[in-house]
Amino acid sequence: MLEIKDLHAGFDGAEILKGISLSVNAGEVHAIMGPNGSGKSTLAKVLAGHPSYQATAGEVLYQGRNLLEMDTEKRALEGVFLGFQYPVEIPGVNNAEFLRMAYNARRVHAGEEELDPLDFDEILDEKMAGLGMEAKYKNRSLNDGFSGGEKKKNEILQMAILEPKIAVLDETDSGLDIDALRIVAGGVNKLRGPGNALILITHYQRLLEYIQPDFVHVLSRGKIIKSGEKGLALELEAMGYDWLTTTNA
C-alpha cells in the first residue's frame, strides 16, 4: 500500500530524514519509535504533504502512485490521514459542520452524493458515542478550548468518519491519561481492518500495549536503525534508546 524508498527530506534546507525505506501493506500496523528529534514527526508531515517540508531525494509510492506529487488535499481524499500531535485550534469553525464538510469532500471525490446534515448527524452521533465523546463537542468550535484528551479523541473521531486507507498517527498517546488512552486506542483498534494500514508514531511502549503493532521500527537521526516485531518495543522500554544508538553508532 505504501512504499517509502530511500526518502530524504527536510525543513528550511536542513536535512532531517536521511534515507528512510519502509514498506507498509494493507492490514498491517507499524510502530515508529525513537528519541526526540529523530525525525518521526517530520516523516508524518512529509507523508501528509506539509508545505514547509520538502523531499529532496527518494520516493514514496501510495497504491503504486507517486504520493509526493499529490497536493495535501488530494492525498487526504485518496485515503491518507494524519492524526496530529498537536491538533490545530480553529475558533469560529463549528466542529460538526467541519466534520460534515470533510466527510462530503471525500464522498464527492469518490463520486458519491453529499450527505445532508440530518443523515450525517446520525453517523456522527454513533461515532462519537463509540469514543465516549459528549454531544456538546459537536457544536463547539473545532478543537477550540478542548482539553488535550478531547483534542486527541477528536482526531480519532475524524479518522473514524473519514475511514482512511492509511493513517499516520503522530504521538496520539501524548497528553492522554490512562482512561483516555484506553478509549482512544479502542477507537483505533475498531478501525483496523484487512483493507487499511496504520503507522503509529510514539515515544513510549505504553500505547503499543493497547494497539498491538505487527512491526516496530526505531528511528534515530533520520534513519531507521532497527526493525523488528512487537517484542522490540519491550526491549527498548527496558534498555532505552541509548542501547541502540550507541551500539549502532
Partner 1 sequence: MSGTVKEAPGQAETPFLELHKKFLQDTPPPGAVRGLAEAALERFSVLGFPHRKHEMYTFVGTQDLVGQAFELSGEGATPEQEFLRAQVVPGCENSVLVLVDGHYRADLSDTSALAGSIGVVPFAEALSDSGLQNYFKDAIDEENDVFAALNAAFMADGVAITLKEKAAPEAPLQVLCVSTGSTGGPVLNQPRVLIQVQPLAELKLITSFCGERPNYFVNAVMDILVQEGGQVSAAQVQRDPFEAWHFCKTRVTLAGDSRFFTVGASYGSRLVRHHYDARLKAPGAELSLNAVSVLGGQEQVHQFVRIHHEAPHCTSHQLFKNIVDGKSRVSVDGTVIVCTGAQLTYSDQLINNLMLSDDAHADNKPNLMIFADDVKCTHGATVGQVSPDQMFYLKTRGLSEKTAKELLTKSFAASVIDTVRFPAVAAELKKSLLKKLEA
What's the min distance (Å) between Cβ of 142 and partner 1?
9
> Residues 52-91 vs partner 1: string with x where CB under 8 A?
x------------------xxx-xxx---xx-x--xx-xx
CA distance 43 to 17: 7
User: Binding to partner 1 by residue 43, rule CB under 8 A?
Assistant: no
Closest to partner 1 by CB, 48 or 244: 48
What's the min distance (Å) between Cβ of 202 and partner 1?
19
User: Binding to partner 1 by residue 109, rule CB under 8 A?
Assistant: yes
* Residue 202 β-bridge partners: 33
CA distance 179 to 184: 9
Cα–Cα separations (whole angstroms), residue 104 to 32, 77, 80, 82, 235: 31, 10, 16, 18, 44
Closest to partner 1 by CB, 169 or 236: 169
200, 174 contact by CB (below 8 A): no
Residues 206 to 225: which contact partner 1 by CB under 8 A? none
Residues 174 to 193: which contact partner 1 by CB under 8 A? none
Closest to partner 1 by CB, 84 or 137: 84
Closest to partner 1 by CB, 43 or 236: 43
Residues 220 to 249: which contact partner 1 by CB under 8 A? none
What's the min distance (Å) between Cβ of 130 and partner 1?
19
Residue 49 phi/psi, 5-degree rounding, is 95, 35
151, 106 contact by CB (below 8 A): no
Those residues with Cβ within 8 angstroms of residue 132's Cβ, 6 or more apart along the chain or in another chain = 153, 183
Considering only 12, 13, 36, 51, the residue that binds partner 1 (CB under 8 A) is 51
Cell of 122: 446520525
- DSSP class per residue in 127-158: HHHHTT--GGGGSSEETTT--HHHHHHHHHHH
CA distance 30 to 197: 8
Cell of 242: 541509548
User: Binding to partner 1 by residue 112, rule CB under 8 A?
Assistant: no
* Residue 55 β-bridge partners: 9
What's the min distance (Å) between Cβ of 50 and partner 1?
6
What's the min distance (Å) between Cβ of 244 and partner 1?
31
Q: Which residue stretch of 9-17, 33-41, 96-104, 179-187 sits at the interface with partner 1 (rule: CB under 8 A)?
A: 96-104
The percent helix, strand, coil of the chain (3-state, each to 5) is 40, 30, 30
Q: Which residues would be at the binding site for partner 1 (CB under 8 A)?
A: 48-52, 71-73, 75-77, 81-82, 84, 87-88, 90-93, 98, 101-102, 105-106, 109, 141, 158, 162
